[in-house]
Structure 1
Amino acid sequence: MLPRFHGRSHGVTAPRRKPHDSNSGDFMKKLRRSAIAACALSTSAAFAQSSVTLYGRLDASINSLHFSGPNRASVRTVSSDSSHWGMRGTEDLGAGLRALFKMESQFQVDSGAQGNKEFYFNRDSYAGLQSDRFGTLTLGSHLTPHVRLTFKVSPFERAQLGNVVALFQGGPRGYQVVQNNSAAYTSPRWRGFMLRAMLGLSEGAALSKTRSLGLEYEAGPWWLGMTHDALKVSAASVGLPATQPSLWSRTTVLGASYDFKVVRIMAYYQTNHAQRLTDIDGWMVGAVAPVATGEVRMGYSRNNITATTRATQLTLGYSHFLSKRTLLYTNVSKIWNDGSRIVFLPARQDIGASGFPIAGQDVRGFQIGMRHLF
């Protein structure tokens, strides 16, 4: 605090200002203008606040696969499952409106190779606007609503030996992981409900048109979801003569989970209908139970083409959490291929040109690995 000086003690008399001193008035006006300008600048700065986050997931495991029958064989691999890195960011535009972006790229931890040689950012890659009141609209490349549903109702998410991907093997019968050239809308959550919609544009091509719609509900221990995808495919891509016209392949999915605290149970059902083809359906039930510093996981699923042409999978696993971002896991799984079915475990990308499994050949697998998030 500055010391006070009194004119009498120092022999100086301080001049007295008139009540309506013009200099004082001008000074106060300038002060008020400066304050208003400072407030305006601070408000603009607050609206322009932005953030950018670098994040990723590294997953590496050792896999041992065994194929049954007279042509039995074994394959051992080091696998990288769903490893990816990305950047995402937002800018506050004020009034509950934000600009946002996301760029995500998959890669192989075991080799350092890109997950997709054609597209570098081969997962979510988009820009858009987000409103607290009206929802989010983005343009670019998106994971489909179908894929986002499986994150909620699969005990192994979309990774490791027991993941739900095995249900969709056997051709592009409406199963899309990522839709390029798409517009996606996500509504605000209202009384537990949230809507997702996506439109994939063909950009002049006769095929690659996609329409996706998803609805989910979350309240307390319940999570419920439904999606419907329609994909325009060529006749040759689904095993029909190439001379036949293209067709629409439509897939409907239902999913549910309930958390009892001591165990979370989940169920999943999907059915596909394509013109001039036999319908395909599949289902899965699973559970995740917390145990000390880990989780026990179980999944049982089946994929049906006909009553005698189907595949069944059973998987048991355990995950041990070293921290919030690092875990160790181990899984055992078996697939029974009936008739002419050829369904294999999700480490398939590392099998290469081994030629296994053949039609009707069962597959057993053991896996031990580590996952780290940053």
Structure 2
Amino acid sequence: MLHQGRFALKISTCVTTMFFAGAGYAQSSVTLYGILDTGVLYTNKTVGEFANQNAGRSFSLIEGGQTSSIFGLTGTEDLGGGLKVSFKLESGISPTSGALEDCNGNLFGCQAWIALDNQYGTLKAGLQYSPFFLAVDESDPRDLDLFGSGLVNYVDNVTGTGIFSPNSVSYTSPELAGFQGSVLLSLGGIAGNFQAGRQYSASLKYELGGFMINASIFDANAGGNAQTPAQTAVEYEGRTIGTAYKIGPVTAKLSFVNYKVSGSFNNNVYGGGLDYHVTPWLEVNGGVWVTSDRHRTANHSVMGALGAMYFVSTRTSFYAQVGAVDNQGQMNTGISTNGAAFGVQGTTIAAVVGLRHTF
């Protein structure tokens, strides 16, 4: 739902314009970018009409087996004196139907923000990812793949709340002695009720060489005036701490995430795994996530996945992934945010193969 792709190439056009507030010139650029990803998903169990009902095996063509399909515009302008303004408008699409897909359901429902940046940090306003969601991403061994990753647990627990934070203002500090912090406040926009729809998040990260450790919090109230077809206002508290260590082509990651949903469950998710760049053209990774409901430990699940991605060029790759999830009690953890977001009791085995192209 968020990646532009580590190997995405962008087509930029630069124009030189007169900066009338001074005697100099300003450089500006606008970039069109995107991802098209589609795959064939197999699951040996599928959620039926009723909760925990197994409707049987399923083959389906899905609009994103690894990453969401998106397109967007991003741009920057150098205002001089070290100050820059930037923006991003990003939409989720379905290559299987051409419809809007993923994100929050709106035209530019992935990201829509404007920012000011200088040596003192970045101030951003608009629809954006929360520091909490970005921290969860940084400590996920499969980079929040749509199949078999920490993203499945995130969406299962709170849908898009904190992924797509509307009406938000955030500040991210520059890196100081390896530390970097970020804070965000989402305003509900309801007259006379400052608490409805209010969200806040904060994160702190430390990096040294190949080592990283981060921690983050998130708190959201229900309500607000944001009009989003997808649910982005679940009332919950989130906490996470994660770490990563890179040795040559191998990166190991561990994480703990807690999702406490008001009036409902309180899930702890423990995750870990490895990512290995075998060659510049071949990458493999895998991970395991254990979820336990603190209110009733009989509700728990274990999810594991292994994936390989082969780059035939800097922009095009094939991928194959296999995974399984075992649900006990009332837990309904899925295996893929597209096509199998929720699971049934017992063990579900799944696989997806697909093609991904960035531009």
Fold agreement, TM-score > 0.5: yes
CA displacement at 1:186 relative to structure 2: 1.1
> Which one of the candidate residues 304, 307, 311 is aligned to 1:321?
311
Alignment match, 1:370: 355
Larger Rg: 1
Cα gap change, 1:55 to 1:90, in 2 (>3 Å): same
Separation in 2, partners of 1:174, 1:126: 17
Alignment match, 1:27: none
Is 1:58 aligned to 2:58, yes or no?
A: no
CA displacement at 1:166 relative to structure 2: 2.3
2:158 is paired with a residue whose SS is: coil
1:303 partner amino acid: T
Is 1:216 aligned to 2:201, yes or no?
A: no
CA displacement at 1:232 relative to structure 2: 1.0
Alignment match, 1:145: 131
Higher share in helix: 1
Separation in 1, partners of 2:72, 2:43: 31
Alignment match, 1:296: 284
Preserved contact between residue 158 and residue 234 of structure 2 (Cα < 8 Å): no
Is 1:162 aligned to 2:148, yes or no?
A: yes
Cα gap change, 1:174 to 1:118, in 2 (>3 Å): closer
Q: Higher mean Cα deviation, 52-61 or 113-122?
A: 113-122
1:151 is paired with a residue whose SS is: helix
Q: Identity percentage over the alignment?
A: 25
> Which one of the candidate residues 166, 183, 186 is aligned to 1:200?
186
Separation in 1, partners of 2:260, 2:237: 5
Please, what TM-score do these two structures have when normalized by structure 2?
Answer: 0.81
Preserved contact between residue 111 and residue 128 of structure 2 (Cα < 8 Å): yes
Counterparts of residues 166-315 of structure 1 (less than 5 Å): 166-172=152-158, 175-204=161-190, 207-233=196-222, 249-273=236-260, 277-292=264-279, 293-305=281-293, 306-315=296-305
1:108 partner amino acid: S
Higher share in strand: 2
Q: Higher mean Cα deviation, 116-125 or 316-325?
A: 116-125
1:194 is paired with a residue whose SS is: strand
Preserved contact between residue 323 and residue 349 of structure 2 (Cα < 8 Å): yes
1:344 is paired with a residue whose SS is: strand
1:73 is paired with a residue whose SS is: coil
Cα gap change, 1:326 to 1:95, in 2 (>3 Å): same
CA displacement at 1:71 relative to structure 2: 4.2
Q: Which has the higher contact order (CA 8 A, sep 6+)?
A: 2
CA displacement at 1:99 relative to structure 2: 1.2
Please, what TM-score do these two structures have when normalized by structure 1?
Answer: 0.77
CA displacement at 1:361 relative to structure 2: 3.6
Separation in 2, partners of 1:175, 1:337: 24
Preserved contact between residue 127 and residue 140 of structure 1 (Cα < 8 Å): yes
Is 1:332 aligned to 2:322, yes or no?
A: yes
1:162 is paired with a residue whose SS is: coil
Cα gap change, 1:94 to 1:180, in 2 (>3 Å): same
CA displacement at 1:276 relative to structure 2: 5.3
Preserved contact between residue 175 and residue 251 of structure 1 (Cα < 8 Å): no
> Which one of the candidate residues 57, 62, 72 is aligned to 1:74?
57
**Which consecutive unaligned segments of at least 5 residues does structure 2 have?**
1-18, 47-51, 224-232
